[in-house]
């Protein structure tokens, strides 16, 4: 009987420990989905996707002006074609997993080409009506980008990314993109490299210790949770995640 109980306990412990990664990732997905809500309307009522639409509109207006001067400066045609392509890429960008990497990269890629067109136009003999437009369109794009960067979505995404990084290799979900602005010194947007600079007050060693203790606790509580592995493990993981990052 003792042997059977021991074997049963080992099997149950193994089953629960095997479900730990599932519970961790299920909890992280819940956190990601909550953070993703701020992309559509953040805590201040701002919608990043609407800000991106306004940036595309300003870029398109810049193209409209530039098209009037292609005979004066044929080099504008190539710049116009490229910016039109990038506007279309932004319109069609969709990550599909609520991490927004494609949306962030497509938004960021609007700026260098718009800046190149505006710079070219400012060196041409523009009409009195058109002289103000290059700077005005760039200012509109920059203003909207500033609002995007100040959105609470970015703070939530960074917080989520810290949890993902510190729970690897158990964490299998992708980090979330942050909507940083473009500059000549900016590196390209790369999936999985979102900034995670805020300090939560927990060292890597402390996180590792807590995670190890979590695994030990799961083994000790195997019989207690054995009959309800699915939901109860998920709830337990949620509590442990809260404890780890408090």
Does some domain include residue 114? yes
Q: Would you put residue 98 in left (φ > 0), alpha (ψ -120 to 50) or beta?
A: left
Rg (the chain; Cα; Å): 25
State whether 171 and 119 are in the same domain.
no
Q: How many domains does the chain have?
A: 2
Domain interval for residue 71 = 47-150
State whether 10 and 57 are in the same domain.
no
pTM above 0.75, yes or no: no
Are 218 and 17 within 8 A, CB to CB?
A: yes
Nearest one of 90, 94, 105 to 191, comparing CA atoms: 105
State whether 92 and 122 are in the same domain.
yes
Tens of pLDDT, residues 8-21:
444 544 445 455 57
Does some domain include residue 129? yes
Q: How does DSSP classify residue 179?
A: -
pLDDT computed for residue 183 by the predictor: 66
pLDDT computed for residue 237 by the predictor: 52
State whether 101 and 76 are in the same domain.
yes
Does some domain include residue 191? no
pLDDT computed for residue 208 by the predictor: 47
Angle (CA) 233 237 239, round 5°? 120
State whether 34 and 102 are in the same domain.
no
pLDDT computed for residue 184 by the predictor: 59
State whether 36 and 51 are in the same domain.
no
pLDDT computed for residue 166 by the predictor: 85
* Sequential DSSP letters for 91-159: HH---SSS--HHHHHHHHTHHHHHHHHHHHHHTS---TTTTTHHHHHHHHHHHHHHHHHTSHHHHHHHH
Q: Which two three-digit tokens encode residue 51? A: 């800000």
State whether 28 and 70 are in the same domain.
no
Q: How does DSSP classify residue 41?
A: S
Low-confidence stretches of the chain (pLDDT < 70) are: 1-20, 183-246
Task: Quote the CA–CA distance of 185 and 137 in Å, as a whole number.
Answer: 22
């Amino acid at each position: 009987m003792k042997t059977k109980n021991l074997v049963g306990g080992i099997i149950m412990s193994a089953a629960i420990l095997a479900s730990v990664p599932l519970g961790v990732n299920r909890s992280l997905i819940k956190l990601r989905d909550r953070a993703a809500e701020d992309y559509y309307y953040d805590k201040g009522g701002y919608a990043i996707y609407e800000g991106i639409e306004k940036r595309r509109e300003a870029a398109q207006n810049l193209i409209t002006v530039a098209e009037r001067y292609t005979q004066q400066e044929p080099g504008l045609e190539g710049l116009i074609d490229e910016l039109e392509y990038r506007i279309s890429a932004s319109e069609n960008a969709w990550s599909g997993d609520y991490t927004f990497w494609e949306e962030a990269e497509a938004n960021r890629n609007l700026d260098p080409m718009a800046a190149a067109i505006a710079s070219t136009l400012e060196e041409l003999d523009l009409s009195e009506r058109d002289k103000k437009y290059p700077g005005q369109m760039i200012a509109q794009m920059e203003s909207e980008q500033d609002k995007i960067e100040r959105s609470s979505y970015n703070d939530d995404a960074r917080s989520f990314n810290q949890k993902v990084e510190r729970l690897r290799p158990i964490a299998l979900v992708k980090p979330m993109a942050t909507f940083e602005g473009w500059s000549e010194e900016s590196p390209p947007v790369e999936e999985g490299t979102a900034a995670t600079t805020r300090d939560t007050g927990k060292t890597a060693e402390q996180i590792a210790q807590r995670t190890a203790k979590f695994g030990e606790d799961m083994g000790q509580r195997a019989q207690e949770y054995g009959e309800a592995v699915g939901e109860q493990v998920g709830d337990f993981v949620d509590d442990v995640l809260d404890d780890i990052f408090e």
